[in-house]
Structure 1
Amino acid sequence: MFQVIGGRSVRAARLLAPRTAVLVETTRGRKSRGDPKAKSKEGRIKTPPPVDPQEMVVLRERFSEYQLIVKALRLEFKEEMLREKYDEETGSLAEEKMRQEAKEHRVLMAWNEEENRRLLKLRMQRLQKEHLEAERKEAEAALQREQEQEEFIKEKEREILQLQEDVKNFITLENIDQRIEEALDNPKNYNFAIDKEGRVVTQTILK
């Protein structure tokens, strides 16, 4: 049992009160259920207001008519809704809807095929460009390998020629006596120094 204060229960007042505010219960002078009846109203007998029979008959007839009209409108709206639903599912509207969907499907399929052809054409062009680019790079790589091979062969030929020139100065069993005589006839002294610029420092410079 909740105590009624100002037409609202204490619990409701507590629930509706803000959390940060202080709950203050206010009263407007109304009595609770347990309070006795006022002395001025002890002998009073409550009687309903008088009703005019003719007015009551008219009101009942009008209310019945209102109920019939509302019921008829509801039935008509329901019938119209069911008819539209039936037509959409099995009637002419369903056929028209199927035709529209079939037409839309054909349009979409045509667009899809056209888009596929366009993308295929772009893909073929891209693949052709990639193939030509790959061939060009392969040709450039082959040309570069050929040039490197030629340079390598030329370098080896130069090394062979240089080696052939150097062979002339090699000491062999045939020319060993001659080379010994040349060395004895032309002695060389390697006991010398050089400066920072790489010049040979002679004794005259040292003096």
Structure 2
Amino acid sequence: MFQVIGGRSVPAARLLAPRGAVLVEAVRGRKSRTDPVAKSKQGRVKEPPPVDPVEMVVLKERYTEYQLIMRALRLEFKEEVLRKKYEEETGSLAEERARQEAEEHGALMAWNNQENLRLLKLRLLRIQKETEEAERNKLEAAIQREQEQQEFIKEKEKEILQLQEDAKNFITWENLDQRIEEALDNPKNYNFAIDKEGRVVKQTVLQ
């Protein structure tokens, strides 16, 4: 690979080589500087090719005309580019572009407002649903607590009624003698057995 530096093609290896390194180019088909002159070219004197004065004048005129035409074309193209740039910056094109940008900005702002309104409605609907859900959960929790409280009260009332019923059979100082007499008059035998069917077999008291 070659790179052009100062109008000359320089190999990339020479550019990447460290400073002070000795590089030797291997060129095929060329002689080195130390090689002698070929035998067929010894004693030959190079002479420039002959130049026709008339042809030289014609070529010089044509080259001058070519330079003038190219300079005129470059100036015309440059003027056209500068004119378009000026019109775009300060002319009708700038006004048209500003109008288009204003219309586009207005359309984008309208779309933005519509999108914001749509999102606001969705957000309000979501907040309303969340509020209703929270209120419903709160109401259900209150109903559940009320039911649990009622069940607790009923359970306690049952316990109180049972205690009141059991209190009738409690032995106190007032009915102690009576309960002793009842126990003596109605002896109970807890010495019994159970048959295979689970029936209680009571022992007969011998008189």
Q: Normalization by structure 1: what TM-score? A: 0.74
User: Unaligned stretches of 5+ in structure 2?
Assistant: 1-10, 14-25
Q: Which residue of 2 aligns with 1:103?
A: 103
Closer, same or farther in 2 for the Cα pair 1:161/1:78, shift >3 Å?
same
CA distance in 2, matches of 1:29, 1:136: 99
Using CA pairs below 8 Å that are at least 6 residues apart, which structure has the higher relative contact order? 1
Give the corresponding residue for 1:148.
Answer: 148
Give 1:156 shift. 1.2
Deviation at 1:155, TM superposition (A): 1.1
Query: What is the CA deviation profile of residues 10-65 of structure 1, one whole-angstrom value per residue up to 9, with x for unaligned ones?
Result: x989xxxxxxxxxxxx9866432101112332211011111211111111111111
State which drifts further: 50-59 or 190-199.
190-199
Describe how 1:1-207 pairs up with structure 2 within 5 A.
30-188=30-188, 190=190
Shift of 1:141: 2.1
Instruction: Return the letter of the residue paired with 1:44.
Output: R
Partner AA of 1:92 in structure 2: S
Looking at structure 2, the residues matched to 51 and 121 of structure 1 have their Cα atoms a distance apart, in angstroms, of: 92
Alignment CA distance shift 1:199-1:65 (3 Å): farther
Equivalent position SS for 2:174: coil
Q: How many residues align?
A: 184
Q: State how far apart, in whole Å, the 2-side matches of 1:195 and 1:84 are.
A: 122
> Which is worse superposed, 151-160 or 29-38?
29-38
Deviation, structure 1 residue 125: 2.0
Identity %: 78
Deviates more, 1:192-201 or 1:165-174: 192-201
Describe the shift of the 1:198–1:38 C-alpha distance in structure 2 as closer, same or farther (beyond 3 A).
Answer: same
Q: Tell me how large the CA RMSD over aligned residues is.
A: 3.3
Q: Which amino acid aligns with 1:122?
A: L
Residue in 2 that maps onto 1:6: none
SS at match of 1:171: coil
For the residues of structure 2 that align with 1:39 and 1:117, how far apart are their CA atoms? 97
Calculate the TM-score normalised by the size of structure 2. Answer: 0.74
- 1:39 partner amino acid: K
- Specify whether residues 196 and 81 from structure 1 end up closer, same or farther in structure 2 by C-alpha distance, changes over 3 A only: farther
Q: Quick one: which amino acid aligns to residue 139 of structure 2?
A: A
Classify the secondary structure of the residue corresponding to 1:170: coil
